[in-house]
């Protein structure tokens, strides 16, 4: 079955960077794009961007353009989300989710990133 397993929780200081991984299994990794979505505590879901796994091109929400980088390693069947210059407002659960026909479909379990001095 389709499964997305994300890396563990992170604690970072303000100004630091974080890189979250999302390992895929149960499907042909190269054939589906991957979305990244975050959710701050008690807040709504927020779409961050997506990456075409096959060719590697990306699209970002304007809010995250320039501060978030989405990449993938096709040999490892893993997608990555890296965010730089963290502030306390970036404290959130970060999700990866597979795209199927323009649907944000199967979700990872989420990775909590805490930014605190």
Partner 1 sequence: QTVVTQEPSFSVSPGGTVTLTCGLSSGSVSSSHYPSWYQQTPGQPPRTLVYSTNTRSSGVPDRFSGSILGNKAALTITGAQAEDESDYYCVLYMGSGIWVFGGGTTLTVL
CB 95 within 8 Å of CB 110: yes
The nearer residue to partner 1, 27 or 107, going by C-beta atoms, is: 107
Locate 2 and state its tokens: 């389709």
CB 22 within 8 Å of CB 30: no
Cα 58 from Cα 42, distance rounded (Å): 28
Q: Which helix (H) or strand (E) holds 78?
A: strand 78-83
Q: Least Å distance between CB 71 and partner 1?
A: 17
Applying CB under 8 A, among 30, 74, 109, 116 the residue interacting with partner 1 is 109
Q: Which residues face 38 on adjacent strands?
A: 46, 94
Site size toward partner 1, by CB under 8 A: 22
Applying CB under 8 A, among 62, 75, 87, 117 the residue interacting with partner 1 is 62
13 binds partner 1 (CB under 8 A): no
The nearer residue to partner 1, 52 or 84, going by C-beta atoms, is: 52
Q: Which residues bind partner 1 (CB under 8 A)?
A: 35, 37, 44-47, 50, 59, 61-62, 95, 100-110
């Amino acid at each position: 079955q389709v499964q997305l397993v994300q890396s563990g929780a992170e604690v970072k200081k303000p100004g630091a960077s974080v890189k979250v991984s999302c390992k895929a299994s149960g499907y042909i990794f190269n054939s589906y794009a991957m979305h990244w979505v975050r959710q701050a505590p008690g807040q709504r879901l927020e779409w961050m961007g997506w990456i075409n796994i096959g060719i590697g091109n990306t699209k970002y929400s304007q809010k995250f353009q320039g501060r978030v980088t989405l990449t993938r390693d096709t040999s490892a069947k893993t997608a990555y989300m890296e965010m730089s210059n963290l502030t306390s407002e970036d404290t959130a659960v970060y999700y990866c989710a597979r795209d199927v026909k323009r649907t944000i479909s199967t979700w990872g379990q989420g990775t909590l990133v805490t930014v605190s001095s």
